[in-house]
Amino acid sequence: MDSAALLDLLGNENRRRILRLLARKPCYVTEISEYLGVSPKAVIDHLRKLEEAGLVESRVDSQRRKYFSIARNLRLEVSVSPYGFGTKSAYPASRGFDMSRCRYLSLDVGTSPDADPDSTDASGASDGDVASLAGELGRLEALENELSMAQRWVQGRLTDVMDGLSERFDDLGGMDGRFYAEVAAAVADGASVPERIARQVDASPEAVDDALRLLAEHGVLERGDDGWLIAGE
């Protein structure tokens, strides 16, 4: 989808809130309506636009009720500087992408590898030397492109890992497996108390308490002296 059109679509707060909700679990129109506090008719209109853009998709369950979920990974990048404005939308990089081909990612970006340390400014280019500045510009543009590709690769891998966790937790009961995956991921990220976990996953403390208990019963989490942690750590 054209990045400018995507920006226009996401300029609506309720559509952004719908995507945040669907990123946690698939939902029916009535669930989204209650979450947003707007009419089902307005929700259907937002969903139609998101579906036309390819951001969400719908399915019908065994009771012939339609529910919606995020359709695919998509990354939107916006760059604003005194020298330009640009937007770029892209899908995650392929799993087979060779990260070792990114020659600049391990570079100390503070200085240019070809610069004379006795005659450079903070940018790593010789002060007043147009050729050096132009060379540094090219190096930084290459670095920017590699970082963008690396971010897309990481986004794809994060989704793969969360999908794997979700599948393992689908049989725990009570809620969608993705919720349990988010709770486990929050604990792995350092959130050790229910209140902080609840804020991080945007859920009620009661739902988080139930998830923590179930994850502990299945040997995924354990309670330590300072709070919850991944079992065996």
Q: Smallest Cα–Cα separation from 73: which of 194, 160, 192?
A: 160
Kindly report the average pLDDT of the chain as a whole number. Answer: 82
DSSP state letter for 222: E
The Cα–Cα gap between 121 and 133 comes to 10
Q: Smallest Cα–Cα separation from 155: which of 208, 109, 94?
A: 94
CATH architecture of 173-230: Orthogonal Bundle (1.10)
Predicted confidence at residue 176, as pLDDT, reads 66
Q: Do the strands 27-28 and 66-70 form a parallel or antiparallel pair, or are they unpaired?
A: antiparallel
The Cα–Cα gap between 205 and 186 comes to 14
| Fold agreement between 3-70 and 173-230 | yes
Predicted confidence at residue 115, as pLDDT, reads 46
User: CA separation (Å) from 47 to 2, 14, 98, 231?
Assistant: 18, 10, 37, 40
Predicted confidence at residue 113, as pLDDT, reads 47
Torsion of CA 130, 132, 135, 141, to 10 degrees: -80
Predicted confidence at residue 37, as pLDDT, reads 92
Q: List the domain boundaries for the chain.
A: 3-70, 92-161, 173-230
* Predicted TM-score (pTM) above 0.75: no
Residues paired with 227 in a beta bridge: 224
From its phi and psi, is residue 44 left (phi > 0), alpha (psi between -120 and 50) or beta?
Answer: alpha
The Cα–Cα gap between 219 and 132 comes to 58
Please tell me the total number of residues recorded for the chain in this structure: 233
30-39 pLDDT, tens digit each: 999 998 999 9
Question: In this structure, are residues 50 and 58 in contact, taking their beta carbons and an 8 Å threshold?
Answer: no
Predicted confidence at residue 174, as pLDDT, reads 52
Helix (H) or strand (E) holding 227, with range, is strand 227-230
Question: In this structure, are residues 9 and 15 in contact, taking their beta carbons and an 8 Å threshold?
Answer: yes
Q: Decide: helix, strand or coil at residue 160.
A: helix
The Cα–Cα gap between 182 and 177 comes to 9
Helix (H) or strand (E) holding 159, with range, is helix 130-169
CATH architecture of 3-70: Orthogonal Bundle (1.10)
Predicted confidence at residue 49, as pLDDT, reads 96
Cα–chain center distance at 71: 14
Query: What residues of the chain score a pLDDT lower than 70?
Result: 1, 93-95, 104-128, 171-176, 233
Predicted confidence at residue 193, as pLDDT, reads 93
